[in-house]
Amino acid sequence: MLVVTTDTGREALFESAVICDYLDETQWPALHPSDPLQRARHRAWIEFASAVLVRIGSFYNAADASALWKTRDEIAAMFQHLETQLGDGPWFAGASFSLVDAAFGPVFRYFDVFDEIVDSEVTGDLPRLSLWRENLKQRASVRAAVGPEYSRRLRDFVSARGSYLGHLIDAQSVASA
């Protein structure tokens, strides 16, 4: 949630994409392209990132191994589609960091943790996507978006859900104790 102070009071904005659009229109530098068609295209890919996040929720909530791997395959297919849209980078739109990059930073961050638990292989055979993921991981603003406890907190969150992935986390904790 973002609270904005206006001449008439305070307004609350919610939903990440809406907040990003508002900030892009009111702050400098703008992270959306100036061309309306390219801007619309970027907004579509931000919505795609939201759809991937929904699948990630299904991944960490999967009740059993079969459901986990089925969801992993769905996410991998989404990433394969995304791979076809990427150029030589380093960012989604080439040389300029954009809101599409900001939207996918959290998407890939999940798999930085999940790959410690189970080898998800969602980007391994996708060279452009893998490079983009690594560039995002190294960007200071993406790293600073979460605290140093992110990995532990995500593991605790997933473990508490009682899902298959949570059981794998619990098993790893027991094995390392």
Per-residue pLDDT, 20: 77
Say how far apart CA 139 and CA 133 lie, in whole Å.
Answer: 10
Name the residue among 43, 168, 79 with its Cα closest to residue 117.
168
The gap from C-alpha 110 to its chain's centroid, in whole angstroms, comes to 7
Residue 13 CB partners (closer than 8 Å, separation 6+) = 1, 2, 3, 4, 19, 22
The residues with which 71 forms a beta bridge, in sequence order, are none
Segments of the chain scoring below 70 in pLDDT: 177
Sign of the torsion formed by the C-alpha atoms of 153, 64, 109 and 56: negative
Per-residue pLDDT, 33: 86
pLDDT tens profile 53-80:
999 999 999 999 999 999 999 999 999 9
Structural domains in the chain, sorted by start:
1-30 (no CATH), 34-176 (1.20.1050.10)
For residue 33, give Cα distances in angstroms to 36, 47, 80, 86, 162: 7, 16, 24, 16, 42
Q: Count other Cβ atoms within 10 Å, centred on residue 17.
A: 14
Classify each residue of 72-97 as buried b or exposed e, where b means 16 or more C-beta atoms within 10 Å of its C-beta.
beebbebbeebbeebeeebbbbeeeb
